[in-house]
Amino acid sequence: MSATPGYVSKKTGVRWVPVIGLEVHCQLGTRTKLFCGCEVQFGSPPNSLTCAVCTAQPGTLPVLNREALELAVRAALALGCEVRTKSKFDRKNYFYCDLPKGYQISQYDEPYCTGGGIQLSNGRFIRLTRIHMEEDAGKAIHDRGSTTLVDLNRAGVPLIESVTEADVTTAAEAVEYLTTLKAILQYVGVSDCDMEKGELRCDVNISMRPEGEPWRTKVEIKNLNSFRFVEAAIEHEAWRQIEAYESGDPKLFPVQETRLWDPARNVTRTMRSKESAHDYRYFAEPDLPPVTISKVEIERLRGCIPELPHARRERYQKELGLSAYDAGVLTASRALADFFEVVARLSQKPKDAANWIANDLAREFADATLGVPNVDAMAMKPNDLAELIRLVDEGAVNVAGARKVLRVLMKDGGRPKELVKTLGLEQVQDEGQLEAWCKEALVGKEKIVADVKAGKTQALNALLGPVMKASKGTANPERVKEILLRLVQGA
């Protein structure tokens, strides 16, 4: 366990402990919307993916998308939740131009699942209160002159909203929870969780209290579309609340309200206070029958849950002998882990595969995607990397040369063997040529020769550079060392 979480005030010396709950909306990766047959696709022309149902024309009725229910249940099972065989939909009423019906179909008092949670690496368990299904609203675009434009392509897209208990106690725990949640949802094929497309959205509920004291007023923070923002917003909001309480002026104390994270200024600001808070006036959706799913069906779906990240991580360490670090990097996304497994199988060298992917590949991606390699967007296929590993193993190219090949493969693709040739990276296999370079390097190096003869073979390393330089990097360093040793000992 880590040290007691909290923020110690410099002013008063009081340790303030955050009480944090997280609400995450995740878009289900269905082909069509939740209650109509419209396709779900990001970036299509405005209002091109709409129909009479999702634009709320009079007389239309919703019909539940069975695939959405199955994906929602998979998510629940992967998170250890209890899935109910019967749940129902409710109407959540509010008026806004992005919501053509005047209500959102959601689940209120009988969500399809309860319980479950996520285990953190520090041993703490973050409990889930519930997960429910609901439809997304459309998008209101305000930055086009004086009028507001409405795009209903997103209206009716299926979502699950997961809500935790107030179990999170630090910004780092929040980020780990979210990262793990995202990985699990991706693993079980529930969602791509692409935050840039809004497929994963997070709200934070946070209140601060002096250690040991009861909970105080909670504040909700919205508009957190990256995990970095979540971390920064919690840090900022924690201190804002501490300073407010320590001002001693009750007028400045935090009030129950919704605040927006402003990433440009690194602050949270009031969005709406409790007085103007929505009263959603939920009631049972009369247009939809109760949602039913049989125990048999739930068990069938449970059988389809693939190996989850933490199980994979353990297996990589135990069975393949990978380091905890490599196993962690590889399992950060399902696509990356799948990629690794294909390379490991084709090359028969899991450790080399792990090395290349967790280090070289990850490094190449580091700038673009904050450390998580986006395997799908890459030109290189697993069999290419497997071949490259084999070429290194056979001595056809050395590691430095292979790195150059890797960079080209990732960007433009191609055949590794041909790239080694066209980039002039073929290792010189010709013993006579290697020996000639080695002899040249030994000229006038009597001291080194004497040291080596005296048993200090590492003294040879000083000669490696000149030989590699003479070969323009195409010599195999291991082979060069062998030849040097043979020449010295034979002399």
Partner 1 sequence: MRYGVRKDGSGSLASMYGATRDAGFGPEVKRRILLGTYVLSAGYYDAWYGRALKVRSLLRRDFEQAFEHVDVLAGPTSPTAAFRLGEKKDDPVAMYLADVLTVPVSLAGLPAISVPCGFVDEGGKRLPIGLQLVGRARADARVLRVARAFESATDFARARPPHHVSTAKGGAA
**Binding residues for partner 1, per CB under 8 A?**
57-58, 93, 95-97, 148, 279, 281-283
Contacted entry of partner 1, Zn ion, none for residue 51, CB cut-off 5 to 8 Å set by kind: Zn ion
Cβ of residue 207: shortest distance to partner 1, in angstroms? Answer: 21
Is the separation of the CB atoms in 83 and 298 below 8 Å? yes
Cβ of residue 381: shortest distance to partner 1, in angstroms? Answer: 50
User: Which amino acid belongs to residue 125?
Assistant: F
Residue 414 has φ and ψ, to the nearest 5°, of 130, 180
Cβ of residue 100: shortest distance to partner 1, in angstroms? Answer: 10
Contacted entry of Zn ion, partner 1, none for residue 83, CB cut-off 5 to 8 Å set by kind: none
Q: Tell me whether residue 133 or residue 361 sits nearer to Zn ion (CB atom).
A: 133
Q: Which of 45-53, 110-118, 184-192, 361-369 is the region at the interface with Zn ion (rule: CB under 5 A)?
A: 45-53
Cβ of residue 67: shortest distance to Zn ion, in angstroms? Answer: 15
Cβ of residue 143: shortest distance to partner 1, in angstroms? Answer: 16
Contacted entry of Zn ion, partner 1, none for residue 93, CB cut-off 5 to 8 Å set by kind: partner 1
Decide: is 271 part of the binding site for Zn ion (CB under 5 A): no
Q: Tell me whether residue 277 or residue 399 sits nearer to partner 1 (CB atom).
A: 277
Contacted entry of partner 1, Zn ion, none for residue 353, CB cut-off 5 to 8 Å set by kind: none
Structural tokens at position 473: 């990097």
CA distance 220 to 224: 11
Give the SS3 label for residue 121. Answer: coil
Query: Which residue do the tokens 């009750």 mark?
Result: 250
Q: Tell me whether residue 152 or residue 336 sits nearer to Zn ion (CB atom).
A: 152
Cβ of residue 280: shortest distance to partner 1, in angstroms? Answer: 8
Cβ of residue 177: shortest distance to Zn ion, in angstroms? Answer: 34
Contacted entry of Zn ion, partner 1, none for residue 190, CB cut-off 5 to 8 Å set by kind: none
Number of residues that bind Zn ion (CB under 5 A): 5
Contacted entry of Zn ion, partner 1, none for residue 367, CB cut-off 5 to 8 Å set by kind: none
Give the SS3 label for residue 352. Answer: helix
Contacted entry of partner 1, Zn ion, none for residue 282, CB cut-off 5 to 8 Å set by kind: partner 1
Interface of this chain with Zn ion, residues 13 to 42, rule: CB under 5 A: 36, 38
User: Would you report the helix, strand and coil content of the chain in percent, each value rounded to 5?
Assistant: 40, 20, 40
Interface of this chain with Zn ion, residues 54 to 73, rule: CB under 5 A: 54
Find the farthest-apart pair of alpha carbons in the chain and give their distance in angstroms, rounded. Answer: 98
CA distance 335 to 332: 9
Cβ of residue 88: shortest distance to partner 1, in angstroms? Answer: 12
| Rounded alpha-carbon distances, angstroms, from residue 182 to 77, 140, 236 | 15, 27, 24
Give the SS3 label for residue 453. Answer: helix
Cβ of residue 57: shortest distance to partner 1, in angstroms? Answer: 7
Contacted entry of partner 1, Zn ion, none for residue 54, CB cut-off 5 to 8 Å set by kind: Zn ion
Q: Tell me whether residue 95 or residue 144 sits nearer to partner 1 (CB atom).
A: 95
Q: Tell me whether residue 36 or residue 68 sits nearer to Zn ion (CB atom).
A: 36
- CB burial string 384-407: b at 16+ within 10 A, e below: bbbbbbbbbeeebbbeebbbbbbe
Is the separation of the CB atoms in 53 and 60 below 8 Å? yes
Best CA proximity match to 387, nearest among 353, 422, 338:
353
Query: Which residue do the tokens 């209500």 mark?
Result: 103
Long-range contacts, stretch 477-482, CB < 8 angstroms, 24+ apart: 477/398, 478/395, 479/395, 479/427, 479/434, 480/434, 480/437, 480/438
Decide: is 160 part of the binding site for Zn ion (CB under 5 A): no
Contacted entry of partner 1, Zn ion, none for residue 96, CB cut-off 5 to 8 Å set by kind: partner 1
Q: Tell me whether residue 1 or residue 61 sits nearer to partner 1 (CB atom).
A: 61
Query: Which residue do the tokens 């919307």 mark?
Result: 33
Contacted entry of Zn ion, partner 1, none for residue 36, CB cut-off 5 to 8 Å set by kind: Zn ion
Best CA proximity match to 25, nearest among 138, 177, 151, 135:
135
Provide the pairing of β-strand 15-27 with 200-210.
antiparallel
CA distance 195 to 322: 30
Q: Tell me whether residue 95 or residue 443 sits nearer to partner 1 (CB atom).
A: 95
| Residue of 14, 51, 267, 320 interacting with Zn ion (CB under 5 A) | 51
Q: Tell me whether residue 283 or residue 325 sits nearer to partner 1 (CB atom).
A: 283
CA distance 124 to 126: 7
Secondary structure E strands in 290-370: 291-292
Contacted entry of partner 1, Zn ion, none for residue 279, CB cut-off 5 to 8 Å set by kind: partner 1
Is the separation of the CB atoms in 53 and 62 below 8 Å? yes
Structural tokens at position 6: 């909290």
Cβ of residue 148: shortest distance to partner 1, in angstroms? Answer: 7
Please report, as ranges, the residues that interact with Zn ion according to CB under 5 A: 36, 38, 51, 53-54
